[in-house]
Structures are given as C-alpha cells and as structure tokens.
Chains A and B, each alone.
Chain A
Amino acid sequence: MTVVSRGWNRLTLPGKFLFILVPLLIVATAALLILITAFGQLAIDTLAANLPIVRFVVAATVILLITVPTAFLIIYMEMKIIALMNLRIGPDRVGPFGSLLSVVHGLKVLMKEDFTPTGADSVVFTWAPVVVYLASVMTLLVIPFAPGLYGADLNIGLLYFFAVSGLAVVGLLMAGWSSYNKYSLLGGLRAAAQIVSYEIPLTLSVVGLLLLAGTMSLNQLVENQQGWFTDWYIFQQPLGALIFFIAATAEANRTPFDLTEADSEIVAGFATEYSGMRFGFFFFAEYVNVFIVSALFVTLFLGGWNAPFALPAAWQVQLSLDPASFNIGLLFIIALAPVVLTLLFGAPFWLLSSRITWWQALLIGFVLANLFIITLAVAWAYIGLNWVAGILWFMLKTYVLVFTFVWMRGTLPRVRIDQLMGFAWKWLLPASLLNLFVTAAAIVVIGR
C-alpha cells in the first residue's frame, strides 16, 4: 500500500469530495477570471450589438423560469385558501405554513412513471402537453409587469395574446386524440368546444375597450390608464370587464366552468391517459393560465402596473441617494448598521422587562432590525425605482384576482354542459355585442 492510497483511505467521504472539489473550484475560478479579462469586452460588445436578440432570449428564459414558481404558488394558494374557507387548516407540514407542499407535489409528479398507452400516437402524445404549456407561457411574453419590464412590446399585443392562447385548443385536441381512448377524445372535444365557444365573447368583450384606447399594445393600454384609479378602463367598460372576467374563467377552465377536468366527477377528460410530468405540464398550464388571465385582466381593466392614486408632483419624494458620496463612511455603515440597529431595537425590551434575558432581547432586536432594514430597502426601492413600484402594484392586483378565482372555486358549484354552452351563446355573446355597439355609439356621439 502506497502512501498516497493510505492517505486517501484515511479521508472521510466529505473529505474525499472536498479534496477533489476544492482544487477544481480554484482552477475553474482562475480560468473564468482569465476568460473574462481576455474575452469580456468582446462578449459585452457582441451582446450590446445584438441587444434585441439578447433581450428576447433573456425574456423568454426568465418567463419560462417564473412560470413554475408561479404555478407552485397558485397551487399552494388554492389548497390553503379553499381549506381555510372549509374551516380546515390545509397544508401545514412542509415548509412554513405548508408552503412547500406544492413543490413536493411537483417532485412527486416528476418521479412518477411516464406512461404511454399501447396504441397511442406517441409523438403527438408527447408533444400535446408541450403545446398546451407553451401556449400559456408564450402569452406571458407581451404582458407588461412594470414600466420597461416586459418581454416584447408588440403593437398587436392583445391580438398576439388571443392568437397564442388559442393554441391551447390544439394541444388539448392533440392530447385527446393521441391517447387512443374514446373518453380522452370526448374530453378533448368537450374542452375544445368550451374554449372555442368562450373565446368569442372573450375577444368581443375587449373590442369596445380597443375602440376607446385606439391601440392593441398592452404596454400602451397600461400607460393610457395612468392617473387615479378612476381612469382605469373598468369604469368605462364595466360590462366588457364583467364579460371578460366570466369568459376568462371559462378559458382558464376554472370553477364554475371547469367541465373539462371536473376532478370530482370525471377522470380529467383529455388528460385521462397522462401520468408523470406530462400530466404535470397540463396541471401547471392550468395554474399558469389562472395567473395569465388575472394578469391580462389587470392589464386591460385595472390599470396594470399603475398605482391606484396619482400624487401631485409636489408631493413626490425625490431620492437622490448616491452611496458613493459616503466614501469610506459607507464601509462603516455597512459594517456597523446591523450591530447598532440590533442593540438599539433590543435595548428597550431588555430595559423594560426583567423577564427578558439579554440574549432574548438581542434576538428580538436582531429580528426587528432586519425587518426595519428590509422595510427601508423596499421603501427606498419603491420610491427610487420605478419598476419596483410597478411590479409591486401589478403583482398585488394580479394576486387579488387570483384569490378571487380561488375564492370562486371554493364557493360556486359546477354548471352543466348545456348551461355552459347556452350561457356563452345566448347571454355573453349578445351582451358583448351590445357592449361593442354602445361603446361605438358613445364614441361617435361624444366624439372622442
């Protein structure tokens, strides 16, 4: 036994890993630094020269990446909120307040067997969930989350949205047809019938708004709604907003129009034969759809990223805080502020109550100091950065709407298929046409 092998054998398992990883890490870091110094400027120049492409790739990647946490969050919200409405507690085991349970659900779906039935058209069967999921994700590309924070500001943004979300029907039909199961086929056709039927009032309800706004760019639509909340389009198009909301509920397959899945009654319709992550894609697409529909409603009718109030310019705080102006003092602030704040916030607790020991007071002080710093940072970002304020308002409004969708699911019973179809064709379609004509007449009369 040589010295080398004896020394190697004496290492513990983590030691063996570290023995390999640490030198590797050092070498890789050094190589990266050399690469950056050598080709960094070139890379930056190349990227800057192709900014639209870079922007598109980054936007597409980011949007694809945020859909999964969004779906997790909405699934968690659904479990928790409906549980609370049922006087239950809901998920409370995994993570704080059970918030990681949907992640566990996702992992479970990922680990299940990915099964393809005999006789299924395996290519179409595989691609159907991809089409459904992409139809959802691609629509996010045009939604303006904040000033300057959007994938692409298409001048036909709304049209693009409806066109791409219409792709989902293709995916559903693909899933239903390729499963080699008559019930899947029936489920797919039923889902397609529902979505196609509701697409008409959904699209028509927005036409009145387009006449008012004179643009299809979602970014422009949001900018048109700047000012107080009374400038939001929902106050000019209340009927249109109502029709849009109802039709969007049906589009997103949400209760009371969730006949395509109807978990408690039929076996998931078109997704009957799906299992594993392919089913997971359908499942996620459904929840991403909830987010998208809410986001679109907010964009069109609730002022998008605009705050519901517009303070006069004199009231607006102008923050011109340049961290560099502190010079060396900045280092002291960064180093000392947490300690000083912890002591400052902990001191009153220690002084006022003899029951609190010094370490408890320090702990309380630490938590309070962190909260204070975070609040300060968020407030600074809200005032100083336009897009932070925008995204906060946008997400607040969107998740209020998501809550409404979940709330509806916790309340309303499912409609019958003939009620569903009758409502779309006999009530929503005439109502949306009426909305369109009244809006057009008003524009002619008032002469905007």
Chain B
Amino acid sequence: MSFVPGLGIAKGMALTLRRFFEPKATIKYPEQRADVAGKFRGRLQLLYDEWGTLKCETCFQCAQACPIECIDMGGIDTRGRYHVHWGPPETYGERREESALRRSGRTVPDPAFRPYEPIDLGEVDRILDEHDYDPAHMLAILEATQEAYGYLPVAALKRISHRTGAWYAIIYGTASYYGHLRFEPPTATDQAAAVDAHRPAESTYIAALGAALEGGGRAGASAGA
C-alpha cells in the first residue's frame, strides 16, 4: 500500500469512532449479574455439622463428578486408619514432601500424610499378572490379595492402582464396600476385641486406685467404692 501521509491517523480515528458506537463490554456488577457458566456445578465447600466436625466422608463422589478433574483430596479416611488420595498415586500427596523439599530446600511436614509400611510386592505382581492387569477384575484381584496377605495393605493397593491404571479411589471404594475385605490384619482386630472383652470395668479400676491412695483419691472414687 502506498504511503499516504495521515492515513494512519485517519484509520485510528475511524476505529475509535466505531468503538464509540459499539455495545460496551462493561457489566454493571451490583445491578447486573454475569451469566453463570453452563458448566458451573455450584461452589465447592467443606461443610461442618452442628458439632463442628467435618461432614466430608472422603467418598470422592465430588472428585469423580468433576469434569475437569480439578478436585483433589488427600489425607486419612474418616476412621483414621488409612491414607487415601484421589488421582494417580504417584503424582500427588505421596510426592508432596519430595517436591516441597525440591522447591523450598527444606522439608515441609504434612500432618495428614502417614507413610505406609512397605511389603513384599511379589505376591501382588503375581496376582496382577494372573488377572492380566485388568481393572474389570478388581474384586477378584482384591480377594486374591487379601488371601495372600491376610488383609489389604496400602502398598498393595497402590501397586494395583499403578499397574491396572484404575483410580486409587475406585479401588478404595470397592474394597471398603465389601464387608469381607479388610484393611488391617485380622489379628489386630481380633486382639482389640479380645482386649475389650477381658478388660475390667472402670469402677473396679477406680476403686483399686482409691484404695491404693488410701482415701486420698477423688471423692467420687471413695463413694463408688
């Protein structure tokens, strides 16, 4: 295009004049609310019940429903016994300390993360190989694993998730759904029940304590005795 002096100025002026008459982009916020996006599923929020305890049961339904898989959660499950995590196990919470160390140069403790004890993974690998690493056979795999180890160790579940590609949370959900699958060694649960059964009553203990202190104990203790 040939050079015409002032053409650029004229073009620019024409542009701003066109903009002058165009509809405006501003949304007058308090009077006029922006449209809610079609994908919007409501606000994510952790709710507490009337006693102040967290209502979240770590069921992972929200994470499963999330269309862009942005929901992530980690920690121990509601019974305080098991470390759970949504998503591929090798990416998130398990490597959190490592990545924090790399980024900040110092260790960052994660109170929610409880390391699980390592086990011999040979049995799991064998079972997985037998089932062709097929996540559709999850129940069979889990049952075989429980048979091999006596319970479902965390490390074994991680291994299964890693090898089959099934989400850890789905494996956890499957395992926790069936009553015959357990996460702790049967000895531990049996022992706890046995201890509870043979434990002396509280009042007996307090009476013995009061006697040992020769009446110097609590007032209620002597009355109970």
Residue of B whose beta carbon sits closest to that of A93? B28
Q: B residues within 8 A CB of A84?
A: 19-20, 24
A407 to B19, CA, bound (A): 11
Residues 74-116 of chain B, each 1 if its beta carbon lies under 8 Å from chain A, else 0: 0000000000000000000000000000000000000000000
Number of chain A residues whose Cβ lies closer than 8 Å to a Cβ of chain B = 13
Number of chain B residues whose Cβ lies closer than 8 Å to a Cβ of chain A = 13
State whether A407 touches B17 (Cβ < 8 A): yes
Residue of B whose beta carbon sits closest to that of A408? B13
Q: Which of B16, B25, B26, B28 contacts A411 (CB 8 A)?
A: B16
Residues 81-122 of chain A, each 1 if its beta carbon lies under 8 Å from chain B, else 0: 100111111001000000000000000000000000000000
Residue A38 at the chain B interface, CB threshold 8 Å = no
A85 to B28, CA, bound (A): 17
Which residues of chain B from 1 to 52 have any CB-CB distance to chain A below 8 Å in the complex?
9, 12-13, 15-17, 19-20, 22, 24-26, 28
Residue of A whose beta carbon sits closest to that of B13? A411
A411 to B25, CA, bound (A): 18
CB distance from B126 to the nearest CB of A (A): 67
How many residue pairs at the A-B interface have CB separations less than 8 Å?
34
Main secondary structure of the interface of B (DSSP, over half): helix
State whether B28 touches A412 (Cβ < 8 A): no
Q: Which of A81, A89, A92, A411 contacts B15 (CB 8 A)?
A: A411
Residues 56-100 of chain A, each 1 if its beta carbon lies under 8 Å from chain B, else 0: 000000000000000000000000010011111100100000000
A87 to B16, CA, bound (A): 9
A92 to B26, CA, bound (A): 12
Residue of A whose beta carbon sits closest to that of B6? A242
Residue of A whose beta carbon sits closest to that of B12? A411
Residue of A whose beta carbon sits closest to that of B15? A411
Q: A87 with B9: in contact, given A81-B20, A407-B16, A411-B16 (CB under 8 Å)?
A: no
Residue A147 at the chain B interface, CB threshold 8 Å = no
State whether A87 touches B25 (Cβ < 8 A): yes
A417 to B25, CA, bound (A): 35
A88 to B15, CA, bound (A): 15
State whether B12 touches A85 (Cβ < 8 A): no
State whether A89 touches B13 (Cβ < 8 A): no
State whether B19 touches A87 (Cβ < 8 A): yes
Q: Which of A87, A410, A412 contacts B24 (CB 8 A)?
A: A87
CB distance from B39 to the nearest CB of A (A): 26
Residue of B whose beta carbon sits closest to that of A92? B28
A85 to B14, CA, bound (A): 11
State whether A89 touches B20 (Cβ < 8 A): no
Q: Which of A81, A85, A89 contacts B26 (CB 8 A)?
A: A89
Q: B residues within 8 A CB of A412?
A: 9, 12
A407 to B12, CA, bound (A): 10
Which residues of chain A from 361 to 415 have any CB-CB distance to chain B below 8 Å in the complex?
407-408, 410-412
CB distance from A223 to the nearest CB of B (A): 33
Q: B residues within 8 A CB of A411?
A: 9, 12-13, 15-16
CB distance from A357 to the nearest CB of B (A): 26
State whether B25 touches A88 (Cβ < 8 A): yes
CB distance from B17 to the nearest CB of A (A): 7
CB distance from A254 to the nearest CB of B (A): 14
CB distance from A445 to the nearest CB of B (A): 29
A87 to B28, CA, bound (A): 13
State whether B28 touches A410 (Cβ < 8 A): no
CB distance from B103 to the nearest CB of A (A): 38
Q: A residues within 8 A CB of B12?
A: 411-412
Q: A residues within 8 A CB of B24?
A: 84, 87-89
Q: B residues within 8 A CB of A410?
A: 16
CB distance from B19 to the nearest CB of A (A): 5
A81 to B20, CA, bound (A): 7
Q: B residues within 8 A CB of A86?
A: 19
State whether A85 touches B20 (Cβ < 8 A): yes
State whether B28 touches A89 (Cβ < 8 A): yes
11 interchain pairs (CB within 8 A)? A84-B19, A84-B24, A85-B20, A87-B22, A89-B26, A89-B28, A407-B17, A410-B16, A411-B9, A411-B16, A412-B12
3 nearest CB pairs, A to B? A411-B16, A89-B26, A85-B16
Please report B residues at the A interface, Cβ cutoff 8 Å. 9, 12-13, 15-17, 19-20, 22, 24-26, 28
List 8 additional contacts besides A89-B24, A407-B13, A412-B9; criterion CB under 8 Å: A84-B20, A84-B24, A87-B24, A407-B16, A407-B17, A411-B9, A411-B15, A411-B16
